[in-house]
Copies of this chain bind each other. A is one copy, B any other.
């Protein structure tokens, strides 16, 4: 050995990286049909023109898929992991009344050569969801970190940016006693609380059939349909909430201030989720999982009838009262 090392010898292959960019380019293009970046993909930063907005307010957030990713990868549900990553981020943007415009992903892997097929599938899944809500995959970083990321693992972080006209921004400070909470069904647990799910499945390895496992791993629902319908129906909600870690109580209490509500939610007809919940502390389940309600719109009483038509499956789950705190019971 001459003692002169190349970058490839250290486990990083930059030629492989360039081919990967061409693998994903057809997927990236799918996300740039109605909306387009105003500079080239692959520059140092992606640019998006907001000059058509009168008084733009940009909105942003970041999230990952947590430990759900490990089970998704074990089950080879790679595309679903991409959808989860998008939904966990885009739903947060939607709570502001904003349009999701741009999405970026950060993927940490041990070897691009080994992971190229899987991360192309991951990006394909992301782009399925992004295309459906008209949001651009504006950039990303796929970091090869041999020795830092365990082999076979893909670390994922997502970032999204949206924009809303200042006059149309949803303002939870306008909430009033008597406003009505409408809940919309989730497709399963969202991408949170999976350390607890994994613990149950370790303790009860034969609890679920393969089909039940797949239904439990359904990607987080994208609530773009609800928000788009609300806009078409000309209902301006008082607030939206995306129900993730912390469940209904924490995700509503974070913006309710001195108000609260005693919620009654429908029984969650999800056999796989119910099997898991049987092994979870009766109180903790409501503070960890969405319990079947993944999205809440809070509207004025006069808007309830219209809001129930926004997206499939909405139902009234409570009304706002004075006094802090959210309680949740399941309808008999």
Contact = CB atoms under 8 A, between A and B. Distances in A.
A106 B7 contact: no
Given A157-B157, A255-B43, A66 B143 contact: yes
A305 interface: no
Nearest to A197: B10
Contacts of A6: 196, 280-281, 284
Interface string A155-169: 101010111101001
A198 B61 contact: no
In this complex, the member of A7, A59, A104, A106 whose beta carbon has the largest number of chain B beta carbons within 10 angstroms is: A7
A47 B162 CA distance: 9
B62 A195 contact: no
A203 B5 contact: yes
A144 interface: yes
**How many subunits of this chain does the assembly comprise?**
2
A71 to B, nearest CB: 10
A273 interface: no
Contacts of A242: 44
Given A49-B57, A241-B44, A279-B4, A155 B108 contact: yes
Interface residues of A, number: 95
B66 A145 contact: yes
A144 B195 CA distance: 9
A84 interface: no
Nearest to A102: B60
Interface string A242-266: 1001100010001100000000000
Interface stretch (A134-142, A213-221, A230-238, A316-324): A134-142
Q: Name which of A9, A62, A166 has the most chain B CB atoms within 10 A of its CB.
A: A62
Interface stretch (A146-154, A179-187, A306-314): A146-154
Interface in A16-47: 38-40, 42-47
A58 interface: yes
Interface string A78-103: 00000000000001110110100010
Given A44-B61, A45-B92, A60-B161, 5 more contacts: A3-B203, A7-B195, A51-B56, A60-B159, A149-B155
21 contacts: A5-B203, A12-B196, A43-B172, A43-B254, A44-B92, A44-B95, A45-B61, A47-B59, A47-B169, A58-B102, A60-B102, A61-B139, A62-B105, A62-B157, A66-B143, A67-B146, A67-B148, A147-B195, A157-B157, A159-B159, A161-B161
